[in-house]
Each structure stands twice: as C-alpha cells, then as structure tokens.
Amino acid sequence: MKKLLIVLLAAAMLLPLLPVQAEGVVNVFNWEDYVNPEALELFEKETGIKVNYMRFTTNEDMMVQVRTNPAAFDVVFPSDYVIERFVKEDLLMELDFAQVPNADNTLEWLKNPSYDPDHKYSVPYMWGTVGILYDTTRVQGPIDSWQVLFEDTYKGEVFMLDSIRDSMGLALKYLGYSMNTQDPAELKAATDLLVKQKQDGIVKAYQVDETKDKMVAGEGILGVVWSGDAQYAINLNENLAYVVPKEGSNVWVDGMVVPRAAKNPENALKFIDFMSRPEIAQMNCEYIEYSSPNQAAIDLMGEEYLENPNLNPSQEVIDNCEFFHDIQDRITIYNTLWAQVKNAK
C-alpha cells in the first residue's frame, strides 16, 4: 500500500513537466489583448498542437521572465529594442525560414529592420505608433503636440503609460531630443518634465491596458496609447480621435521570436508561419486593430485598411518617428529616473 502510494506520488510529481515537454504543445508568451482568440483555436484545430498561451503587460516585465526561464516559452512577442537586446544576450534561436514560408509576406521596409539587420531571428507580427487618444468633445483647440500633456488645461484628465521607454520617450521627443538618447542631462530634463507634470496634478493615472476602456467610458480627456488601442477605442466611441504628435513619436514593431532554450522549436515555427498566413494575419489585424506588417494581409483588407490613417499612417508620419533602440548600460539610469517620476509627490 505504502509503496503504491509512493509510486503514485512520484508520478504525480512528474505531472508539471508534462505540458512543456509533450510534443503537441506550443508555449506562447504574448502581450495582453494582442491576438484574435479564434486564430489560436484554428491553429489548434488544424495542427493538433495545443497552444499554451501566456500574457505580459510591458516589455520590461517580459524581459525579466524570459531571462529567468527562457525554456518556458517557445514563441515570444517582444518589441524591436528588446529583440536587439535578446540578440546581444544570445537568447534567441536563428529561425529556419524554410519552415516559415509565409514570412515572405512581410512588408519590404520591415524585411531587414535595424533591430534584426540580417533578418535572422524574428518575423514581424504587428507594428504601430505611440500617440494621444483624445475626447473630441472636451478638448480645447487642436491636439497635435505633446505640449497638451503638460498644460494646466487638462489638469487631472490625462492618462499616461506606465511604461518606462514610452513615457520617457515622449518627454524626450517633446523636448526635441532623441528617444534613444544616451545623454544623462537630456534624460534628467525629461524626468524633470514628467515630475512637474505629475506634481501639477495633470496626470490622472499611470496605466497600460486599462486606458483604452477608460477613454471609451469618458473617464479622461487625453490618454497616451499605442495606435491599436486607439483604434479599438475609436470603434467603440466615435467621439474619440487619435493623433501622432508633430514633434514625432515612437514607431515600433513587435516580432515573433523563438528563445534558444525553447522546448518545442518545431511547433514554434509552425505557429509563427500560421500567424503570418495572410488570412490569419488579417483576422488578427482586424481584431486587435494594429498595423499589419503583412503585405498579403493588407491586400486582402484593401481600401478600408489603407484609408485609415491610424492603421496605415502616411510615410511622412513614419519618417517623423523613431524606433526604440537598446539603451545598453543606461538601463539603471532609466529605471531610477522612472522611479523618481512614479514616486514624485
């Protein structure tokens, strides 16, 4: 009896290892609200591979998790500058593009991106911009500059992003600096601006995924959001509009990568290929409302996509924006300055 019990217990202890090592599984680590759930179902139905889907809120949080336990994930969706960082840290697997034929659908200008210059480690999933979502019925005057985020007019009515690079980046841009500056004096100036904005009572809250729904509900006048969240909110509340400020902003790409330590790399490639299939990319794009890096999907969506400036910003807007790059050894400085902003009283 006792022996049987021990055997059973030993078997039970192995259980937690099964899901990650079984053949029919792919462990996906993606952003919150960033996929059409139907696409995952279709993938499971078609391939018989079970999708073990996990979510994160900011790049920084995700980086910690992937570094701590890279073997837990088969496909991860980091942004450009994080891909750059991961490549430097040698965390990513070179993709076997023969198994990802649909990667050919990628837009020309994203085929050899600066964060993955030889196009070895990533397939773009979505791209977009950072800008201001605003309530057209309650703003005074035109909204076309980051300036409005620092004006008393909107005291207590501004939602900021609780995300280090995005918030520091827009302050830098407003001051006329690069979002990738390595100059501590410029970072200090941006911090001072954000601290003052908070001390003046302009900021209502620092949040990430909550802002879009709060803006739909009319809880704020201005909100800093990613373009897809903006489009989602605009679809639900026609009084909202989105603008990429004239000082320029951040343009970003989220790619799909496979950690070197992934346990199911074959399934990971199947998943990436499936996500890059035109119909599936279209499905996701129409569901989460970000810009598609997939030419074939764009062709399927046609006019409606091409004529929406939030989804398909003009070349002028894109040229005015910057990609984030890895900030290397300035990370502690960024973190410390951001903590000062968050704790300013």
Contacting residue, 33, 89, 151, 209, with another protein by CB under 8 A: 209
Q: 180 near 321, Cβ under 8 Å?
A: no
Contacting residue, 15, 118, 303, 315, with another protein by CB under 8 A: 15
17 is a contact residue toward another protein (CB under 8 A): yes
Q: What is the CA radius of gyration of the chain?
A: 21
Chain centre distance of CA 66? 15
13 is a contact residue toward another protein (CB under 8 A): yes
Q: Which of 154, 129, 128 is nearest to 143 (CA)?
A: 154
Closer residue to another protein, CB minimum distance, 101 or 201: 201
Alpha-carbon distances of 257 from 8, 69, 79, rounded to whole Å: 38, 15, 10
> Which of the residues 310 through 329 are near another protein (CB under 8 A)?
329
71 is a contact residue toward another protein (CB under 8 A): yes
Alpha-carbon distances of 198 from 68, 172, 175, rounded to whole Å: 33, 16, 17
Question: 3-state DSSP call for residue 153?
Answer: helix
Query: For residues 287 and 285, what is the distance between their CA atoms, to the nearest angstrom?
Result: 5
333 is a contact residue toward another protein (CB under 8 A): yes
Q: Which of 84, 170, 182, 186 is nearest to 129 (CA)?
A: 170
Query: For residues 336 and 69, what is the distance between their CA atoms, to the nearest angstrom?
Result: 25
Closer residue to another protein, CB minimum distance, 32 or 94: 32
Q: Which stretch binds another protein (CB under 8 A): 128-136, 234-242, 276-284, 336-344?
A: 336-344
**Least gap, CB of 223 to another protein (angstroms):** 12
241 is a contact residue toward another protein (CB under 8 A): no
26 is a contact residue toward another protein (CB under 8 A): no
Q: 162 near 327, Cβ under 8 Å?
A: no
Q: Which stretch binds another protein (CB under 8 A): 52-60, 93-101, 251-259, 271-279?
A: 52-60
Binding site for another protein (CB under 8 A): 1-2, 5-6, 9-10, 12-13, 15-17, 20, 32, 54-58, 60-61, 63-65, 67-69, 71-72, 156, 162, 164, 184-185, 188, 198, 203-207, 209, 214, 217-219, 329-330, 332-333, 335-337, 339-340, 342-343, 345
